[in-house]
Every structure is written in structure tokens, then in C-alpha cells.
Structure 1
Amino acid sequence: MKVTLTTRHFEPTQALKERIDKKLGRLDKFGRIDHLEIILELDGRIRKAELIAKLRHEVLTAKGEDHNIYNAFLIAYRKLEHQLRNYEERITSHHK
């Protein structure tokens, strides 16, 4: 899985990058993600995160907002994980 991290209006700390990398390791169990784009943005007092997962035949997008950038990432991550589970169920149910 190729991962691209884009930040807007700030430079991410090494600790933030490490926490994100650790969390992304859990997405490998889905195995169908070709490319994952992470966009982190400071918008005034609100921090925004957007995760775009490009699969073979579909693109899944999840967004999160919070006052903390890592929490915004976690919100988007949980949404994406849920979408991936639903996608996997849909794919496996069609093959039964």
C-alpha cells in the first residue's frame, strides 16, 4: 500500500508521523488498498483530516474534524475502517 501524507498550514512532528504510521499498519489486514492519501489541515482553530483510499474498483473517503490533529485523524480513520469492513463484506457476500 502506497501512502501519501499532505499537510496544509503546518509541518507535522515526527511523533505525529510515527503515530499515524503505527495506526495505518492495522489497515494492512484489508489488503485491497492500492493507495492511501492522508490530508491533514489546520483551518483556524479546527483541525481537519481526510483519508482517501483508492482500491481497485472503488475510492473510499473519510473525513474528521477536532481541535486536536491526531484526534481528527482518528475520527477519519475509524470512518474509513468501517467503510472498508462494509466493502469487504459486500465483496465476500457476492462471491458466495
Structure 2
Amino acid sequence: MQVTTTFRHMEQSDALKSYAEEKLERVTKYIDGPITAQVFFTVEKKIRHIAEIVINAKGVSSKASEATNDMYAAIDAVIDKMERQLKRYKEKIKTHKPATDERGRQLTKKVFQAESIEASGEPVVIKAKTETAKPMSVEEAVMQMDLLNKDFIVFTDSTNSEINVLYRRKDGNFGLIEPQRA
């Protein structure tokens, strides 16, 4: 496991770093492949200690954070939270039938400059990124949204190969945007 640690508003501590790495070994039994973990230690107003962990592995991304008045307690709490998330994910994967070996569709995500859209001219692209809309079921998309703490996810429906958008509504429920067949 490759672990990167970042200290924000506090001095670097080898003891905290090694404690977090030791605790991260608990979650390796839930995910396969090469694992990269980013650990962020933050202190706010000298009393609020925040530990945040982002894990990326083969096909799985997960993020969790916890805040307490002690950094070691925050690490323990965030590891417990991460372990619960990954355990739930692994159980769902066991019951799910694997998708066929089809590739996802390529999508281009663009960020436009706001002033250029308001003007009558052509919109100016600030950033463009190509991503793959992975084939998955709606249940898998909900699971990925929860693991990544995202508000929406674009995916290819594994049953009909159409691009769908799943989003979290303000009332806590989920909305699904599907294309209509003509």
C-alpha cells in the first residue's frame, strides 16, 4: 500500500504517520490490487483535529473523514468508518453478478469561463477532460456516489448501454436521468 500523508496547520509527526499506516492495514482485506491512500491531518482552531482518508484501488474509490478533539481518536474513528464502507461495498459486490466485458463510453467534461457565456460570443473552454462512463447498475452507481461523497455520477447503464445521470436530491433521495427511446 502506498500512503501519502499531508499535515495542515500542524507540525509533521512521524508517530501520527506510522499510527495511521498501521491502522490502514486493517482495510486491505476488503479491497484488491495496488492500493494508494492519501491521509490528511488537519487542526482547526487548535482544538478540532480532523483525519481524512482517500483510498483508491482497483475499481474502488472511497473517502471518509472524522473530527474529534484528539488526532489519534480521529484516526481510529475514520478507519472504523472506512472499514464499514468497504465491508458494505464488498458484500454488495459478492451478491452482484459481474457485468459483461463491455467498455464504458468515452465522455468529455468541459469547464467554460462564465463571462464568455454571458457575452454573445463563443464560450471559452478553461479545462477539458475525457473520462469513461463505466457500465454499472443503478445500485452500483448509488454505492459509488456514497463511497466518493459525490452529488452526481454519469454512468452507462449495464442493461441497455445508455448514458444515465444519477444525482442526489436536496431532500436526500436520488434522481435518475435516462434517455428516452424514440
Contact 2:36 2:56 in 1 (8 A): yes
Within the candidate set 56, 67, 70, 1:68 is matched to: 70
Partner residue, 2:159: none
1:5 maps to which residue? 5
TM-score by length of 1: 0.86
Q: List structure 1 segments (4+ residues) > 6 angstroms apart after TM superposition.
A: none
The one-letter code matched in structure 2 to 1:92 is K
Query: Unpaired runs of 5+ in structure 2?
Result: 99-182
Deviation of 1:26 (Å)? 1.6
Alignment coverage as a number of residue pairs: 96
The within-5 A match list for 1:1-96 is 1-32=1-32, 34-44=35-45, 45-95=47-97
Q: What is the RMSD computed on CA atoms of the aligned residues?
A: 1.8
How far off its partner does 1:17 sit?
A: 2.2
The Cα of 1:53 is off from its aligned counterpart by: 1.2
Shift of 1:30: 1.8
* Structure-2-length-normalised TM-score: 0.48
**Identity percentage of aligned residues:** 28
